[in-house]
Structure 1
Amino acid sequence: MSNRISPVLLLTISPLALIAATPAVAQSAATDPRQPPAPTTAVAAPEEAGATEPDNTIIVTGTRRTDRTIADSPVPIDVLGQEALTSSGLGETNKVLNNLVPSFNFPQPSIADGTDVIRPASLRGLAPDQTLVLVNGKRRHVSSLLNINGTVGRGSTAVDLNNIPALAIDRIEVLRDGASSQYGSDAIAGVINVRLRKSPSGGKAQVSYGKYITQLEDVPELEALTNVGGTAVLDSRDSRILAGTYGASRKIKDGAIFTAGVNVGIPMGSGYINLTGEFRDRDNTNRAGPDVRPNYIRPTSAIDPRELTFNRQNFRFGDPKTRDLNLIANMAAPIGDSGWEFYSFATFAHRKGRSAANWRQQSSVNNRDFSTLTPATSPTNANFTALTPDGFLPEIASVYKDWAAAAGFRGELSGWNVDLSGVYGHNQIDYRTENSLNTSYGRNSPTSFDSGGLRFNQFTANLDVSREFEAGFAKPLSVAFGTEYRRDNFSERPGQVESYAAGPLFIAPVTTTSANCTTLGGVYNAGTGVCSFPGRAAPFGAQGFPGIPAYAKLSKSRSSVAGYVELDTDPLPGFTTTLAGRAEKYSDFGSTVNGKLALRYAIVPALALRGSISTGFRAPSLQQQYFTGFSTNFINGLPVDIVTFPVNSAVSRALGARDLKPEKSVNVSAGVSVNPLQGLTITADYYHIKLKDRIVLTENLGAFGSGTTAQNNAVQAILAANSLSGFGAARFFINGLDTTTEGVDIVGTYRFRAGAIGNWSLSAAFNASNNKIDKRLNNLGPLAQIPGLVLFGRVEGIRFEKGQPKNKVVLSADGTLGKLGITARTTRFGKVVAPGAAAPIANPTSLTDYGPDDLFLAPKWITDLELRFSIDRVQFAAGANNLFDVYPSRRPTGPRPATVGGNYPIDAYYLPYSGFSPFGFNGRFLYGRISVDF
């Protein structure tokens, strides 16, 4: 059966969905973007339709007109008001957007290195870096972090929206349409424009506190291990684990979040300065199951008696501990009586994070003291000596700093509106790996390491010019043009030597003579001429998070220059047209030209058709071109050390890497907007996005799960030839895919005043999206000698096509009853597939068949509820996110079905939920909030 979406069917059912409904979008009142906003109410009364009707909110995203509203936009735009953004206890802007915007996806992975602390989000099923983020209409810089582990957004860099607290935001405009021809690179899926508050007086102070109070689903409490004569015994069902008795599912109270913030407006003559400060302290959560693997070495078949007293809750799996300070300033002031205005805004974020890696068992090779062996002695259980008595849990401590500053002048010059601006943004992350070891240094290893850091800087200068002309059309012709200069810089700072280097307890095999091998103390293989050192095979690099190596030190820059033209008018009453074109030249890969045509036709005032066609592009990020780093991935519970190479390195070239090209897209959308009665709006939009030369990170070449044994051995031989023995796998970036993304967004809102029951806003929103790989661009280069090797294989293909919800429904109600306010929302997250490493049983080389360990996450409904009570200027709120304590499908454990054979991955016992869950896996969160307006 075809997976293609029928827009006709969805348009047919959308009015029926609305009957049950609620808003994915809360609208702010009408606001001229050039003036401070007037006070708004949560819901506009029917008789107040017009200037305060949300559909008449003036928008500034997707057009450079000064009078375009949501209602007459030819492309779909969501406007999220301040009330909607603050009616949550979660304290993170990305989490709030995940609950409000159906096409927005924000999974919350764990044990994913830096991605634990800076989590990427996506729009319309595309990559995080295919959505452009603006602040006050100006391009926002991305994070320096490259997401390289097995999560949604693998291989991408993204803007961290959590740096901008909801208290500082007036509204967020989400343009769900390609806009590269208007804004440049990255705007393939759409644009998120964060509009900062501009109030010249008054303010709000707010304090909230909450905690997860939850009962894990299908994760029972381990009451005791089975004790037979003072010794633990193996489980008869699965001999990889110890037998035990279990009680009810675990009950947990953790993850406390304390947030305190203040926003204040200060008049500056006829201008303003608006300031926001917020402090957030979030404790970690832990949803790990008991680790019932034997932890201690077994020189014989006997089980160590210490197993009975060992703490089985040794993993930490959930949100990391973070402490954030965010400061925002937004100002504008007229320059005398010239009619010109100076404006500026700045953001500052400081975050300290602490997350955990995987537990290193006492019996692990990572905990072995290789100094007790001679170089020629093979390690065995019998000659094992531990470096730590019980094992260890490495921790990754990060210090994150981000700041941006913008300044500009705008006014009128010879009848033209002119805006000249400059924006500088900086992001840096520094890492420490703590409670760890570099096993290759043995007992001389530090336990805490400076693991290096990442930096990204961006400077953008814009000149925007616009004017309206009377051209005999139904509305004046808006003509806008401008130019942009941008310079990006990415750098890596190496960590201390011990964080990445191979110490004296690792010696790579060498090709030499038998006599020399004897002198070196190794073991000689006469058939291959290789001298190996099995007693000097210690893993190297800081366990949990290896440091950035010295040879990765770099500072790379590039620049681009662009020019655009945009025309916008209504040539006939009810007929809106937008035409845009943009040319851009990059210093590192050449030029690109893109265009867009958007149309809207109101057949009658209550019914309009709209659509657009555009081309787009995304430039490869500097991180994708130049990043070098190590990481340790656990595949089926086993550690694999993986190195990521820049595409221009000798090793990458030997593995087949080529210079990256920009991604290119063709976006087509068509929709309808219906207003059958006052206060009721229904919109439905179909989109179809074809992307060529998508930039992806290859499989972990050489590791289990990425190819056959013969293919992996061939890759390992290439690594060894480049002096990289000891690494389990390698990867690099490629233009690896041609893809098609299609889907539909349906949004219905109904706002009304119902006498005694107050003002209410109901809405229903639906998104369905389908990602399809049209072609794998398997340009193997030197790797063509390896038969059947695929650079972007089954695991990454399934993650790409099925790793985000197939559909999403948001139903919400927001209203007031005198002094009482209520927000109720329920969100259905559709099916997700989390691929496992094991190949399909029937056809191991298939790139599309499911494997025995692929996990199918069932659709789930997540319900949020908040109650508010206001007394004068003070508001008290209490609420619950995930009210009914819903968890994603649990990963299966133990033996697979007899028809399949074997066992499920052993890490499913202690990591019970998948990081692909679109709503996380923390359970119910209860909170209270007090806010004071002044």
Structure 2
Amino acid sequence: MTNRTTHLLLTISPLALIAATPAFAQNQPVTTAPVTAASEGQQPDESTIVVTGTRRNDRTLADSPVPIDVIGGDQLTSSGLGETNKILNNLVPSFNFPQPSIADGTDAVRPASLRGLSPDQVLVLVNGKRRHVSALLNINGTVGRGSAAVDLNNIPTLAIERIEVLRDGAASQYGSDAIAGVINVRLKRASSGGRAQASYGRYVTTLDGVANVTGLALTGGQPSLDPTDGRYLAVTTDGERKVRDGDLWTIGANLGVPLTSSGGFVNLTAEYRDRDATNRQGFDIRPNYARPTSTTFDPREITFNRINFRYGDAKTEDYGFFLNGGLPLDTAGAEIYAFASYNKRDSESAANYRQQSNGVTGAGGANRDYSTIAPNTTPSVANFTPLTPDGYLPLIQTDLKDYSATLGVRGEIAGWKVDGSTQYGKNKFDYTIADTINASLGTASPRVFDAGGIGYGQFVTNLDFSREYQAGFAKPLSVAVGAEFRREDFQIRPGQLESYIAGPLYRAPIPGSNLAACTTAGGVLSGTTCTFPGRAAAPRSQGFGGFPASARRDVSRNNVSAYVELDTDPLPGWTTTVAARFERYSDFGTSLNGKFATRFEISPGIALRGAISNGFRAPSLQQQYFTTVSTNFISGVAVDILTLGVNDPVAQRLGAKPLKPEKSTNLSVGATLNPMRGLTVTIDGYQIKLKDRIVLTENLGASSNAATDTLARALINDTSIGAARFFINGLDTTTRGIDVVGNYRFAAGPSRWTLTAAYNYNKSEIDRRIVDLGPLAAASNIVLFGRVEGIRFEKGQPRDKVVLSADGRMGAFGLTARTTRYGKVVSPNTATPISAPTSLDAYGPDDVFLSPKWITDLELRASPVKSVEVALGANNLFDVYPDRLAFGPRPASVGGVYPVTQAFLPYSNFSPFGFNGRFLYGRVSVDF
């Protein structure tokens, strides 16, 4: 938004207040009306009161000036998926939740996005109060790279009355993060009754395009290489691989309890979820063992288990507890309220498999015992001694603890409704790496490592006032003002020493040496550098290197803010909302934001609406201070990458600078139609311009720019590190799209139906790459945010999405049928474009184009007795998979070969619906 527009909004606010001053306040005391479990299960419709996007208490879904999706609790529990994010992905067209694998902690906390923006650009509220984000920073090459977002899967669906998804910028109303929109989770308030529920499901699937390998093709008892691609062994196959896995048990209960005879309630929810891992790996048909000679193979190749990876959902065990309560204080309607949660998730996922032959030729060997050769000895097959007999699969075990508590009082003082609350939330993530090795310690290496942990905490206290004035308008003028104080803290706990050190079997090259000095040191002189080929063991625990002692952090910041919001209908059928907000952060300064939204009913059942606003997102503490070393496989080669906080000396040598907030300008225009009873249609177009977007740099030292990489490695000055990266304000972007949602509710004889059709089109473009060169300016053609990340950013999420659903009830029977079309997605690979190797837009020979897919879900329900419901269902009924990745030789017109891993990791992490296949489940619910 321009300065002129902001000035206009700030001018409107005090003028409206002055005009309202002579009027008298409306006495509308807050009440705690009894709510039953049955009334909470009612399906939302256009008459539903919404509390997101406005601070009025009479705004309905039909007359909202901004688009809002309302998802009832029954819609959330009518699924076998067991995860709130997965369910929203099936229900909300502009919501995207890919499910990546082999992505470290992101396997346990997967990020979701709204309108194609970053996961941390949507604000999550619980009961209208800001929810704390996860401590985890997603630093891998997946959707949401570089973000720390709220983990919605920590909220059991049984605890939710409904979810309101505001699809519009709302930073002026709620503060930082509300650029793409707001997700407000409303907890159940029933004071009596409840529900107990148990479900079980598993995947019953056939992997599309993945051959079932029955054995190796032997010649004279010996394996042989595939004649079309010598990287693989020749095999025999029989059809496609069939899998039965991912058993999911979910047991939960929700209970409402009255507190006193005059009102008040406590609503309690407990849920236990146990999910086995899924594995969609193809057979790893690479030779696993060091070959005795060039013409023979190790005989163990014949019996080796070639399902040696884990590619799919992590194994998890979740415990979740939620409490929501309120207690009247007097007859005037004042009440004290509280809600709290505790969640614990134990998760186990896997890194990439380390083959037995890893380290045969040295250069960062992860399974070679370097103690058996001298420092100046060149590694070879003849002197190879493995640390483990068959190789190993590092397991990443995470212990997540999340808790929060909110206490507040609301009532009325001198005609003003007052709401004051205080809350604290904490998210902790601890890592244990099992079945792995720090090869630089050799045989002395532990096999299990405490790799350290991270934590994020948020304390918020706020005070809100609202009042209605008779100002001569068609509806009273609602005036809301308030202030908030927020304190955030972030910690990194280092792991045990062995998890991050470079042990004695790794020795860094010594530059500026001579023959005598190098000989004395036991090395081999190469030019003027003394090298140690017999001391090239991989340092740190494989799979996930522990947080080093130098990464220890305990940082915090605070924020104060104040807002004003005006909401009224100046004329019959004309709704307006004006808001402004001022914020001051202790670490980067101030922000001022405004919003104007309006809706005008042209004729009964037809209305136009629109909004304009500016907003911001503060750089997170994680983005400013997170530091770790992780192993990424780039073009099939393991590279240790150092992620740095912007204040780290190495990052500053590379040119890092303090981060600025992201700034947005949001514009939306739409229409609502109610042409006949029960039918509503909304159409909303939007544009979101973002400046100074915060992104991770390229892996400097292992990018596709040789000059930049050479200079970066010199500035990093640590030969055990392959590359480094840090956060920058690196992009200006524009996101444009359109949402169309239609709902039709009708009765057909004894049955009642709700039909829904929804469509989202979304396109993001990079307007400008911000290259603040710093010390790297000496390199030519420097790129800090390159081709791969750029294409992932613009095309790594579906361009469009369609949701068609039918939900019906007839007597004791119910049905939910839904089909969702996920549009085209591009997943770029690291191979540079052949004809334009320096292009930031051209496609490379290994880039993957995922075609649109339809995913169909079906659930049938029956109530044999009034309080019992039995359901059987299928998610992805027709067992649809994303396109299988190509492997082996590329087409002759291109030349070369596809990445070796695509033979056995057959599906892209960027599939918008995951790659687990068909899930069958049953559920029993008992209402009481």
Aligned residue in 1 for 2:11: none
Compute the displacement of 1:889 (Å). 0.5
Compute the displacement of 1:507 (Å). 1.0
Q: Distance in 1 between matches of 2:803 and 2:99?
A: 19
Aligned residue in 1 for 2:603: 604
Q: Distance in 1 between matches of 2:272 and 2:631?
A: 33
Q: Which moved more, 1:116-125 or 1:330-339?
A: 330-339
| 1:590-611 superposed Cα distances (whole Å, 9 cap, x missing partner) | 0000000001000012100000
User: Is contact 1:675–1:681 with CA below 8 Å preserved after alignment?
Assistant: yes
Residue 713 (1) aligns with residue 707 (2)? no
User: Is contact 1:265–1:275 with CA below 8 Å preserved after alignment?
Assistant: yes
Aligned residue in 1 for 2:511: 511
Compute the displacement of 1:305 (Å). 2.0
User: Is contact 2:100–2:910 with CA below 8 Å preserved after alignment?
Assistant: yes
User: Is contact 1:760–1:813 with CA below 8 Å preserved after alignment?
Assistant: yes
Aligned residue in 1 for 2:177: 186
Q: Secondary structure at the match of 1:440?
A: helix
TM-score, structure 1 length as denominator? 0.94
User: Is contact 2:597–2:610 with CA below 8 Å preserved after alignment?
Assistant: yes
Cα gap change, 1:860 to 1:206, in 2 (>3 Å): same
Q: Distance in 2 between matches of 1:151 and 1:245?
A: 34
Q: Which moved more, 1:782-791 or 1:131-140?
A: 782-791
User: Is contact 1:43–1:760 with CA below 8 Å preserved after alignment?
Assistant: no
User: Is contact 1:760–1:815 with CA below 8 Å preserved after alignment?
Assistant: yes
Aligned residues between the structures: 888
Residue 740 (1) aligns with residue 739 (2)? no
User: Is contact 1:517–1:531 with CA below 8 Å preserved after alignment?
Assistant: yes
Q: Distance in 1 between matches of 2:497 and 2:245?
A: 37
Aligned residue in 1 for 2:317: 323
User: Is contact 2:742–2:758 with CA below 8 Å preserved after alignment?
Assistant: yes
Q: 2:129 aligns with which of 138, 161, 174?
A: 138
Q: Secondary structure at the match of 1:534?
A: coil
Aligned residue in 2 for 1:344: 338
Write the mapping of 1:252-291 to structure 2, written as runs, cut at 5 A. Answer: 252-269=243-260, 270-291=263-284
Write the mapping of 1:580-599 to structure 2, written as runs, cut at 5 A. Answer: 580-599=579-598
Cα gap change, 1:787 to 1:760, in 2 (>3 Å): same
User: Is contact 2:36–2:191 with CA below 8 Å preserved after alignment?
Assistant: no
Cα gap change, 1:486 to 1:715, in 2 (>3 Å): same
Residue 152 (1) aligns with residue 143 (2)? yes
Residue 766 (1) aligns with residue 759 (2)? yes
Report the residue type matching 2:264 in the other structure. Answer: G
Compute the displacement of 1:765 (Å). 0.2
Q: Distance in 1 between matches of 2:488 and 2:156?
A: 25
TM-score, structure 2 length as denominator? 0.95
Q: 2:743 aligns with which of 732, 739, 749?
A: 749
Compute the displacement of 1:535 (Å). 1.1
Compute the displacement of 1:299 (Å). 4.9
User: Is contact 2:32–2:328 with CA below 8 Å preserved after alignment?
Assistant: no
Q: Distance in 2 between matches of 1:509 and 1:127?
A: 41
Aligned residue in 2 for 1:48: none
| 1:449-489 superposed Cα distances (whole Å, 9 cap, x missing partner) | 00000000000111000000000000000000000100000
User: Is contact 1:494–1:549 with CA below 8 Å preserved after alignment?
Assistant: yes
Aligned residue in 1 for 2:780: 787
Q: Distance in 1 between matches of 2:372 and 2:292?
A: 16
Report the residue type matching 1:830 in the other structure. Answer: G
Q: Secondary structure at the match of 1:145?
A: coil
| 1:653-689 superposed Cα distances (whole Å, 9 cap, x missing partner) | 1111111000000000000000000000000000000
User: Is contact 1:33–1:60 with CA below 8 Å preserved after alignment?
Assistant: no
Aligned residue in 2 for 1:10: none
Cα gap change, 1:35 to 1:890, in 2 (>3 Å): farther
| 1:87-120 superposed Cα distances (whole Å, 9 cap, x missing partner) | 1001000000000000000000000000001000
Q: 1:357 aligns with which of 351, 357, 382?
A: 351
Residue 57 (1) aligns with residue 48 (2)? yes
Q: Secondary structure at the match of 2:46?
A: helix
Aligned residue in 2 for 1:496: 496
Cα gap change, 1:36 to 1:71, in 2 (>3 Å): farther
User: Is contact 2:345–2:400 with CA below 8 Å preserved after alignment?
Assistant: yes
Q: 1:837 aligns with which of 827, 830, 834?
A: 830
Q: Distance in 1 between matches of 2:630 and 2:171?
A: 34
Aligned residue in 2 for 1:238: 229
| 1:753-788 superposed Cα distances (whole Å, 9 cap, x missing partner) | 1114x0000010000100100000011110010111
Q: What RMSD over aligned residues (CA atoms) do the two structures have, in Å?
A: 1.3
Cα gap change, 1:36 to 1:598, in 2 (>3 Å): farther
Compute the displacement of 1:909 (Å). 0.9
| 1:871-913 superposed Cα distances (whole Å, 9 cap, x missing partner) | 2100000000000000001100100011110000000011000
Compute the displacement of 1:383 (Å). 1.8
Q: Secondary structure at the match of 1:367?
A: coil
Where does the alignment leave 5 or more consecutive residues of structure 1 unmatched?
1-31, 45-51
User: Is contact 2:41–2:72 with CA below 8 Å preserved after alignment?
Assistant: no
Aligned residue in 2 for 1:89: 80
Aligned residue in 2 for 1:857: 850
Write the mapping of 1:298-447 to structure 2, written as runs, cut at 5 A. Answer: 298-301=291-294, 302-337=296-331, 339-364=333-358, 365-447=365-447
Cα gap change, 1:39 to 1:679, in 2 (>3 Å): farther
Aligned residue in 2 for 1:293: 286
Compute the displacement of 1:39 (Å). 5.9
Report the residue type matching 2:622 in the other structure. Answer: Q
Q: Secondary structure at the match of 2:135?
A: coil
| 1:781-804 superposed Cα distances (whole Å, 9 cap, x missing partner) | 100101112010000001100000
Q: Secondary structure at the match of 2:345?
A: strand
Q: Distance in 2 between matches of 1:782 and 1:35?
A: 64
Residue 808 (1) aligns with residue 808 (2)? no
Aligned residue in 1 for 2:8: none
Aligned residue in 2 for 1:536: 535
Compute the displacement of 1:53 (Å). 7.2
Q: Secondary structure at the match of 2:709?
A: helix
Compute the displacement of 1:337 (Å). 3.6
Q: Distance in 2 between matches of 1:553 and 1:369?
A: 31
| 1:507-558 superposed Cα distances (whole Å, 9 cap, x missing partner) | 1112354233222111223x4x322211111110100111111100010100
Where does the alignment leave 5 or more consecutive residues of structure 2 unmatched?
1-29, 359-364
Aligned residue in 2 for 1:725: 719
User: Is contact 1:43–1:815 with CA below 8 Å preserved after alignment?
Assistant: no
Q: Which moved more, 1:398-407 or 1:706-715?
A: 706-715
| 1:54-76 superposed Cα distances (whole Å, 9 cap, x missing partner) | 10111100000010010000000
Report the residue type matching 1:100 in the other structure. Answer: L
Q: 1:823 aligns with which of 816, 821, 837?
A: 816
User: Is contact 2:576–2:599 with CA below 8 Å preserved after alignment?
Assistant: yes
Q: Distance in 1 between matches of 2:712 and 2:32?
A: 59
Report the residue type matching 1:521 in the other structure. Answer: G
Cα gap change, 1:40 to 1:809, in 2 (>3 Å): farther
Q: Secondary structure at the match of 2:534?
A: helix
Residue 108 (1) aligns with residue 102 (2)? no
User: Is contact 1:794–1:847 with CA below 8 Å preserved after alignment?
Assistant: yes
| 1:788-825 superposed Cα distances (whole Å, 9 cap, x missing partner) | 12010000001100000010000000011110000000
Residue 577 (1) aligns with residue 576 (2)? yes
Q: Which moved more, 1:100-109 or 1:510-519?
A: 510-519
User: Is contact 1:33–1:58 with CA below 8 Å preserved after alignment?
Assistant: no
Q: Distance in 1 between matches of 2:44 and 2:346?
A: 42
Cα gap change, 1:34 to 1:840, in 2 (>3 Å): farther
Q: Distance in 1 between matches of 2:229 and 2:903?
A: 11
Aligned residue in 2 for 1:654: 653
| 1:166-211 superposed Cα distances (whole Å, 9 cap, x missing partner) | 1000000000000000000000000000000000000000000000
Q: Secondary structure at the match of 1:386?
A: coil
User: Is contact 1:168–1:196 with CA below 8 Å preserved after alignment?
Assistant: yes
Write the mapping of 1:890-905 to structure 2, written as runs, cut at 5 A. Answer: 890-905=884-899
Report the residue type matching 1:211 in the other structure. Answer: R
